[in-house]
Amino acid sequence: MKNKAYLEKKLKQIDGRSYKQYKGIRGSYEFEDYILYIDYVQGDPFASPSKLRVRMPIENAGIDFKYYNKKSKKIALEDFLGRNFSKEIFKNVKGNRGSGKSGLIAIDSGNQEILERTAVKLTKEYVEVRFIAGLPAKGRRILGLQAIEMLFNEVSKLVSNSIVYKNINKSLMMDFLNLAEDQEYLRSQMKSKGLISFVANGAILPRESGISDKPMHGDKVVAFKSPKSMEVEFNLPNKGIVKGMGITKGVTLIVGGGYHGKSTLLNAIERGVYNHIPNDGRELVLTIKDAVKIRAEDGRSVEKVNITPFISNLPHLKSTEEFSTPNASGSTSQATNIMEALEVGTNLLLLDEDTSATNFMIRDGRMQSLVAKDKEPITPFIDRVRELLNEKNVSTILVVGGSGDYFDVSDNVIMMENYRPIEVTQKAKNIAKEFKNIRNNEGLNEFGKVKHRIPLKRSLEIKGRKKKVKTKGLHKILYGKTAIELSYVEQLIDNSQTEAIGCILKYIYKKYLDEKSDLKTIIDKVISDIEKDGLEIISSFNAPSGYLALPRHYEIATAINRLRNLKMK
């Protein structure tokens, strides 16, 4: 390891030289309170930025172990420190210092959710911050003196102000830690009370805009208030008494007129699988972590999925026990999405009528009279939703605005009126009795088996010399030359999750595709490895990556299932 004086001398020597001379500064350098690692140096000022780390001994940072002695607190504190570092960048970094990305400093600090990330790493020995930097240049000539200003002055300020305990905002830090403790406690209490989702009174569910996930502000924003009949109470370790709407296991309908908040409530529930930051408005909107949002997805590929519970007797004797297609319809894609979620282990399905295939959701009595069941391959969801609950212990929360037939199969009915929930279960049941249903139940009183599939290793082999996996934003992974489209995967929320999924695909190819293990077992093994050795275990980069965030089992499976080269047995 070299000292900072060596780095300063080296930068002065290469000032004005070709940009490629920056490669010579790669290595580790000892500063007064920390070590600076320059792990990767970009090839030119327009290329992907350089990768740097700062590692500070925990005694220098002054962070007591009591603040991160539990996993939930550790994740929250790492998240807080990353956000703190990002705020300090805006305060202390000059920014543009020449051509391309010159002068850039950035960190993966997250959005409204708190995820396990690799941007900040806390151990009993040290705290490490991983970030990217654009090394300064004019054209393709090194600006060595500006690099010194960046790496010595700016980075030192960032580190001192963001991760040294005596300099950080203690109140804000404790908000993160106390909330994390409350969220984990509340999740455990929900389980003991048989709740699948909880929405706290006072929660702000509407978002700022269609392109912003921040909470809406203003006089017209309606805070959530639970119907009295559904209100439950918890005594949290830090916040104390909290009341809100508890949704129990079963089939729950969210109804109401257009633009009254049905989808807004469902969106908050589906995001409740993640913990949120303080002041998000949804920080105490929690949903069991294995809930999966289901929708129609025309055009997706399907490989050997048993969709028989929903679709059978296709024309030309096409098999539905091992259904495959490169171009699924709305109904076959929605049936596939449900069966794939069940295969990986979900206990809660979330659906919105607006994004579902109509013929998959219901066939009314008149259509049944016109088109006989033996001519209709689809058994609609309405005739399977109770079987899913009774046989598979899988609950459903469904937004419905156009089909009162679902009243017959529901346990709870919530009506949204001007963004306020009203419990109308008994009223819905009375209406169902008064206006008798003329449709026939087309279910078979038995849901059937969920078949587990085994991925074939050859189908995940990356063709080509470089064997690269790249992510293109949130919703696309280039697996070699094959694009995996994830645009309709609504609980994939962070680019760094997508980056991690790309790494996981390569990881399982190398380690777990033995043509004996099924998909769920493979993903369980990967998650177990991550829990044991940390998220960076999946990375194949030479340098530690600061841009990975933990995805759930379901989004990992979703990406694998949408790989068009995939072959299963």
- Same domain? 324 vs 182: yes
- Same domain? 63 vs 180: no
Instruction: Indicate the pairing of strand 291-294 with strand 348-352.
Output: parallel
Instruction: Indicate the pairing of strand 395-399 with strand 251-256.
Output: parallel
Low-confidence ranges of the chain (pLDDT < 70): 317
Last residue of a domain, one of 119, 149, 168: 168
> Total domain count for the chain?
3
Specify the pLDDT at position 317. 66
Domain of residue 239, CATH code = 3.40.50
Residue 243 lies in a domain: yes
- Same domain? 296 vs 425: yes
- Same domain? 523 vs 552: yes
Residue 514 lies in a domain: yes
- Same domain? 188 vs 308: yes
Q: What is the DSSP letter of 235?
A: E
Residue 191 identity: K
- Same domain? 395 vs 514: no
Residue 287 lies in a domain: yes
Tokens of 336: 């596939």
Note the pLDDT tens digit of each residue in 164-174.
999 999 999 99
The whole domain housing 269 covers 170-451
- Same domain? 76 vs 156: yes
- Same domain? 178 vs 144: no
Tokens of 78: 């790492």
Residue 134 lies in a domain: yes
CA distance 33 to 166: 14
Specify the pLDDT at position 354. 94
Instruction: Give the chain's length.
Output: 569
Alpha carbon separation from 379 to 62, 308, 319, 360, 387 (Å, rounded): 62, 9, 15, 7, 12
Residue 567 lies in a domain: no
- Same domain? 505 vs 399: no
Residue 159, helix vs strand vs coil: helix
* Region label for 563, one of left (φ > 0), alpha (ψ between -120 and 50) or beta (otherwise): beta
Residue 105 lies in a domain: yes
- Same domain? 321 vs 346: yes
Q: What is the DSSP letter of 284?
A: T
Q: Does pTM surpass 0.85?
A: yes
Last residue of a domain, one of 436, 451, 466: 451
Residue 237 lies in a domain: yes
Residue 155 lies in a domain: yes
Number of DSSP helices (H) and strands (E) in the chain, helices first: 15, 28
Backbone angles phi and psi of 553, in degrees to 5 = -50, -40
Tokens of 138: 């004019």
Specify the pLDDT at position 242. 98
- Same domain? 312 vs 375: yes
Last residue of a domain, one of 111, 135, 168: 168
Beta strands in 321-391 (DSSP E): 323-325, 348-352
Specify the pLDDT at position 374. 82
- Same domain? 383 vs 505: no
Which helix (DSSP H) or strand (DSSP E) does residue 337 occupy? helix 330-344
